[in-house]
Structure 1
Amino acid sequence: MTDRLKDALRRAASFCAYQERTQQEVRDKLDEWDIYGDEAEEIIVALIEQNYLNEERFAKTFAGSKFRVKRWGKHKIRQHLKQRGITGYNLEQAMKEIEPDDYRRTLIDLLEKKKRTLHEENPLILKQKLVRFALAKGYESDLVWSVLGGDSE
């Protein structure tokens, strides 16, 4: 490995140590540093071997934090992970980070909080607004309807 690549590896390791990254994020950063192709892949392999880069760990951390901090639903989390190149096994492992009971309880809390901010007299319009809000946060429509006590038809 040339000095230039050793320096890039050191910088990439620092980049990964700061926060969890995907392989694509590292490739993009290497592109910025004018490192492409086989050289970039060599650095990525080294980062994986040294455990600086682990997409399963990234996916689990991402899913858990987006759910706990931003209170996103599974649809939104899944979509964002796919946009970052996370698929298959790693995506499924990430979804397992969200406990079903916590998930439902979080949705209930979100809807109760949102309901307090809405000043709508018509119960149908109120329910419609709550459903739209929950769907935009990435929650599944059948779960939203069941929590709100309505049919999904």
Structure 2
Amino acid sequence: MVNYCVYQDRCHAEVEQKMKEFLLIDEAKEEILLYLMKENYLNEERFTRSYIRGKFYIKHWGKAKIKMHLRQKQISEKMISSCFDEIDEDDYRKTIVRIYEDYSSKQKGLKEYQKKSKTIKYLISRGFEYEKINDIFD
């Protein structure tokens, strides 16, 4: 389990899921989890922060999509909210503008309002908030 946690940051749910494969008794699972947390192999805040950074700066996901995926990994709302300072607001704004321009320029043969509508839908599917998108283009 140490190797599993060292390879990349993991959340508690991922570690528990991995331990199910080993068919351990409950006491052993608890001991392993306690050891991993005590030795700082398993750190929920570190995982959340690195997950947010990676999904935004590498995959260019919006906050809504990142938040949804973190909830699926059973990360608390409080933890998610406190870690979103990893995304610089200026970078967030620039990313929305860049994705908007890239996607919009690829739309051929459409009227301007159709391009805008299609591009906004695309940005929303990437997890960006409608209010943020609207603020930028109003």
Q: Specify if TM > 0.5.
A: yes
The equivalent position to 1:39 in structure 2, one of 25, 28, 41, is: 28
CA positional deviation for 1:65 = 0.6
**Residue from 3, 6, 12 that aligns with 1:23:** 12
Inter-partner Cα distance in structure 1 for 2:26 and 2:61: 36
Counterpart position of 1:130: 119
Identify the residue that residue 74 of structure 2 maps to in structure 1: 85
Percentage of pairs with the same residue: 32
Q: Secondary structure at the match of 1:85?
A: coil
CA distance in structure 2 between the partners assigned to 1:30 and 1:121 by the alignment = 52
Describe how 1:1-153 pairs up with structure 2 within 5 A. Answer: 12-149=1-138
- Residues 15-57 of structure 1: per-residue CA shift (max 9 Å, x gap): 0000010111111111101114222111101000000000100
Q: Which structure has the bigger radius of gyration? A: 1
The answer as to whether partners of 2:49 and 2:86 remain within 8 angstroms in 1 is: yes
Unmatched 5+ stretches in structure 2 = none
- Give the conservation status (yes or no) of the 8 Å contact 2:12–2:42: yes
Q: How many residues align?
A: 138
Rounded Cα–Cα distance in structure 1 between residues aligned with 2:109 and 2:43? 47
Q: Letter of the 1:96 partner, please give it.
A: D
2:64 and 2:52 map into 1 onto residues whose CA distance is 11
Superposed displacement of residue 146, structure 1: 2.0
Distance 2:110 2:18 in 1: 52
Alpha-carbon distance change, 36 to 116 in structure 1, aligned in 2, over 3 angstroms: farther
SS at match of 1:121: coil
For 2:104, the aligned partner's letter is K
Q: How far does residue 116 in structure 1 lie from its aligned partner after superposition?
A: 1.4
The answer to whether the Cα contact below 8 Å between 2:71 and 2:77 also exists between their aligned partners in 1 is no
**TM-score in terms of structure 2 length:** 0.95
